Chain A
């Protein structure tokens, strides 16, 4: 079992050029903010390092922060071998919402990333099959963005009753 501080230390050792930040809300455990370009390398390190062994990605969620004009991805990972969990956060600007995929690290990210793309419109670069998953393929807009406005018609049928 490693604490967030220890993991932060390992990360700074491994990636001396990169700045990691611990985020702490009023409730909930501390999270680590990771710059988007290195997320894939960080994920690989977290999975393969003997002291960490985060072998499962429990959940991946896309978020939209309209005040900061940013998009975010929250990764929740767990190690079934060592029994510790960790939350990672990535933030990218709204106009260039691109995050490298972690699909090759944890296969489960495949559908979760497709969902985040569908719902909030984050593009996961390098994803092998980035299509909408819950909405129809020709739906307009991304429903979980805070500024989302539902299209009036879908294929000639009204969407408001």
Chain B
């Protein structure tokens, strides 16, 4: 929709739609932009195009375990982390002990998934800004992770692998070697990425000082994950609200520092993801070392889950940030209420605040840097 414009007054402004079908909105997202020339005056995001009633389905299920495949479909590029969050929440409600071997496998696949998700996020971010080559290199690496996941679970994208109290099946016999091989070959690629994209002059020009998010604003909006860390706050749920067995591993929390521009700009959010992949590799290596070789991954899975009455909110660190599950039980076999608090939903709501006054071309950089997945926004 284009309105008539003149040089003065309110009619100077023009309203245009970005999306719902737009290559750099990373899904079906519509942004209503009010522009003065190329300057963005106002942004109004419209979401819901991918709404699939996850919460309604969860209530209709007659078993807590049957919700797991639906969680996969929320953030479909990090399905393992979505499942992990949900099973941790249900287990905490049931006060269920999970075998060591299961915990280790979960952490390894969750961290591999984090890397895969960041590779996609970074690759697509570069692609949005005109850097085609890094995308291809990164996708080659992501493929290797998906190959391992395929051997583990039988699926490449939506795994339905984790179960309440265990795993759907044990990993294949060469799992440890496969993962160790990947870690070895992948580590030098991060250096390559730095040369190819991170310190590329054009890339820096497009991302430094753009979409600056001050840390107080980030906290007021409850931002989390790389978006919050990009603004300089050392905050990671794997350390600050530990779940699973993350408290046993040594790793650092990379934060933004305004290295090439302003603290909390698009580049800071980007570089946090790059540095995080190195830390994930460290966690994987430690987990491989301490992972027990024997053990039944299905022994602790309850035959039937009957939840007591109560409410719980459990949050885990997904690649995009704080993934929270609010679960209310009512003494029956089906959940009374399940709400998924998706990090992308929260981050997208900040968009009007951080993009006001920037150029329309920078909008693409800002959306890419907060790395949203619309499946999770709309649920």
A interface list, Cβ under 8 A from B: 25-29, 31, 55-59, 61, 63, 74, 76, 80, 83, 87, 89, 106-108, 110-111, 119, 132-136, 143-144
Contact = CB atoms under 8 A, between A and B. Distances in A.
B313 interface: yes
A74 B311 contact: yes
Given A58-B222, A74-B326, A135-B51, A87 B313 contact: yes
B95 interface: yes
B93 interface: yes
A2 to B, nearest CB: 16
A63 B56 contact: no
A55 B235 CA distance: 14
A28 B93 contact: yes
B220 A108 contact: yes
B326 A61 contact: yes
B309 A25 contact: yes
B313 A80 contact: no
B329 A27 contact: yes
Contacts of B56: 143-144
Contacts of A27: 93-95, 307-310, 312, 329
A106 B222 CA distance: 8
B171 interface: no
A53 to B, nearest CB: 11
B251 interface: no
A76 B59 contact: no
Contact of A134 (B48, B220, B311): B48
Nearest to A109: B222
Contacts of A61: 326, 337, 339
A72 B258 CA distance: 43
Of the listed residues B307, B311, B379, the one surrounded by the most CB atoms of chain A closer than 10 A to its CB is B311
A28 B310 contact: yes
A55 B308 CA distance: 31
Contacts of A25: 308-311, 329
Contact of A55 (B48, B219, B349): B219
B53 interface: yes
9 contacts: A25-B310, A25-B329, A26-B309, A28-B93, A55-B220, A63-B336, A80-B235, A106-B221, A106-B222
Nearest to A115: B345
Contacts of A80: 219, 233, 235, 240
Given A59-B326, A106-B220, A134-B379, A28 B345 contact: no
A31 B311 contact: yes
B166 interface: no
Contacts of B55: 119, 144
A74 B311 CA distance: 9
B84 interface: no
A56 B233 CA distance: 14
A119 B53 CA distance: 10
B152 to A, nearest CB: 31
Interface string B229-240: 000010100001
5 closest Cβ contacts across the A-B interface? A25-B310, A26-B308, A27-B310, A28-B312, A28-B310
A29 B220 contact: no
A144 B324 contact: no
A86 to B, nearest CB: 10
Interface in B203-262: 217, 219-222, 233, 235, 240
B315 interface: yes
A76 B324 contact: yes
A57 B222 contact: yes
B324 A58 contact: yes
Given A57-B222, A59-B324, A76 B233 contact: no
Interface string B300-331: 00000001111111010000001010101100
A7 B93 CA distance: 24
A58 B311 contact: no
B337 A63 contact: yes
B341 interface: yes
Contacts of B265: none
Contacts of A87: 311, 313
A27 B328 CA distance: 10
Contact of B315 (A57, A58, A74): A58
B319 to A, nearest CB: 18
Contacts of B93: 27-28
Nearest to B310: A25
A110 B346 CA distance: 10
Contacts of B322: 58
A24 to B, nearest CB: 8
A62 B312 CA distance: 14
Nearest to B336: A63
B36 interface: no
Contacts of A133: 47-48
Nearest to B339: A61
Given A106-B222, A110-B349, A135-B51, A26 B324 contact: no
